[in-house]
C-alpha cells in the first residue's frame, strides 16, 4: 500500500483516487494552500502528507502550555507510575516497550502518557509540543497492525508491537518523547530533521549533539499513511481541564495541532 501510494501515476488517475478518498473520509482541504490544490499532487502520498497553508494551525505561545503535536482524537492521558504498565481505553504497554529503552524510563515517572489517534481524514504531519533540542530519534522495527478502537481492544499491547519512531527532546522542563506509532497500510514514517530507515529491521538510533534547536510547533516527522502518537512527558504537567472533562465523560475529543493540550501544574 505504501509503494502504491508513492507511485507517480497519470494525473487523472491520481486525481480520481484522491477525489474518492476525500468523499469517503470527508476530508477538509480548506487548510491547504489553494495554489497547491490547483496544481494537484504527483502521488497519493503527496496528498496524504500535504503541508498546511501558513497560519492554518496557530501555535499557542504561552510558555506554561504544551500543545498537541498533531491533529487527531484524544484517546486518553494517564499518569506514568514506576513499574506499572500504562493502561488506557483498551491498550496496555510498558514505557520500556514503547520507547525501546529501559534507561530512559525513570525521567518520565510521575509524568503523563497521552495518546492521540489520527483518523484517515486528518493532517498527518507531527510537530513539537514544546521547544527543545533533539537528543535522538529512534526507529524501532515491528509489525503494522491496525490501531482502530476494535483492534486495540483485541490486542492491548499493539502500540509496543508496531513499528514506531521515538523523538526524544531535551527541554527546560526535562525530557519529552513524541512516539509515532505505525499501523496497517503505513508506507513508512519519515523524520523531518534527520535520516532514519523506513521499515527498520533492527533498532536504529540517530543521536544529536545539542546544537539543533526546534521551536514549539516545528515539524518532527510524517506518517505516510497511519496512525497514532503517544506524547510522554516528565512530571509537572496536567491535561488541560477541557480535555480531562471530556475524557472523564467517556468522549474522545478532536484535537488540532498547535492548540493547548497540557498545562504546567502549580506544584510542578
Residue by residue, what is the 3-state secondary structure of 25-55? HCCCCCCCCHHHHHHCCCCHHHHHCCCCCCC
Kindly name the residue from 71, 76, 122, 240 that is annotated as catalytic: 71
In 104-225, alpha helices (H): 149-154
Chain position carrying cell 503541508: 51
188 is catalytic: no
User: Which residue in the list 77, 91, 122, 127 is annotated as catalytic?
Assistant: 127
Q: Is 4 helix (H, G, I), strand (E, B) or coil?
A: helix
> Which residue is catalytic, options 68, 77, 190, 227?
227
Residues 6+ apart with CB under 8 A from 1: 185, 186, 187, 225
**Alpha helix locations (H) across the chain?**
2-6, 11-25, 34-39, 44-48, 95-99, 149-154, 241-248
Which residues touch 86 (CB under 8 Å, ≥6 apart)? 78, 80, 92, 93, 94, 95, 98, 113
Q: Among this protein's residues, is 63 annotated catalytic?
A: no
- Whether residue 240 lies in the annotated active site: no
Catalytic site positions: 71, 127, 227
Amino acid at each position: 500500500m505504501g509503494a502504491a501510494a508513492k507511485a507517480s501515476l497519470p494525473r487523472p488517475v491520481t486525481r480520481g483516487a484522491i477525489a474518492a478518498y476525500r468523499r469517503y473520509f470527508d476530508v477538509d482541504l480548506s487548510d491547504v494552500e489553494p495554489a497547491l490544490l490547483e496544481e494537484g499532487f504527483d502521488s497519493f502520498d503527496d496528498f496524504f502528507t500535504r503541508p498546511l497553508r501558513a497560519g492554518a494551525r496557530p501555535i499557542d505561545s504561552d510558555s506554561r502550555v504544551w500543545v498537541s503535536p498533531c491533529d487527531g482524537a484524544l484517546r486518553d492521558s494517564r499518569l506514568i507510575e514506576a513499574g506499572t504498565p500504562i493502561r488506557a481505553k483498551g491498550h496496555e504497554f510498558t514505557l520500556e516497550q514503547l520507547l525501546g529503552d529501559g534507561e530512559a524510563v525513570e525521567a518520565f515517572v510521575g509524568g503523563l502518557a497521552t495518546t492521540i489517534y489520527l483518523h484517515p481524514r486528518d493532517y498527518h504531519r507531527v510537530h513539537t509540543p514544546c521547544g527543545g533540542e533533539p537528543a535522538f530519534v529512534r526507529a524501532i522495527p515491528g509489525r503494522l497492525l491496525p490501531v482502530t478502537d476494535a483492534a486495540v481492544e483485541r490486542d492491548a499491547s499493539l502500540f509496543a508491537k508496531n513499528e514506531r519512531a521515538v523523538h526524544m527532546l531535551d527541554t527546560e522542563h526535562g525530557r519529552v518523547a513524541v512516539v509515532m506509532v505505525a499501523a496497517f497500510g503505513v508506507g513508512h514514517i519519515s523524520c523531518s530533521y534527520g535520516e532514519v530507515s523506513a521499515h527498520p529491521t533492527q533498532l536504529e538510533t540517530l543521536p544529536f549533539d545539542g546544537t539543533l534547536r526546534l521551536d514549539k510547533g516545528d515539524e518532527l516527522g510524517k506518517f505516510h499513511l497511519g496512525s497514532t502518537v503517544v506524547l510522554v512527558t516528565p512530571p509537572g504537567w496536567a491535561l488541560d481541564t477541557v480535555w480531562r472533562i471530556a475524557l472523564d465523560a467517556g468522549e474522545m475529543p478532536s484535537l488540532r495541532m498547535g492548540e493547548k493540550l497540557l498545562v504546567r501544574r502549580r506544584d510542578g
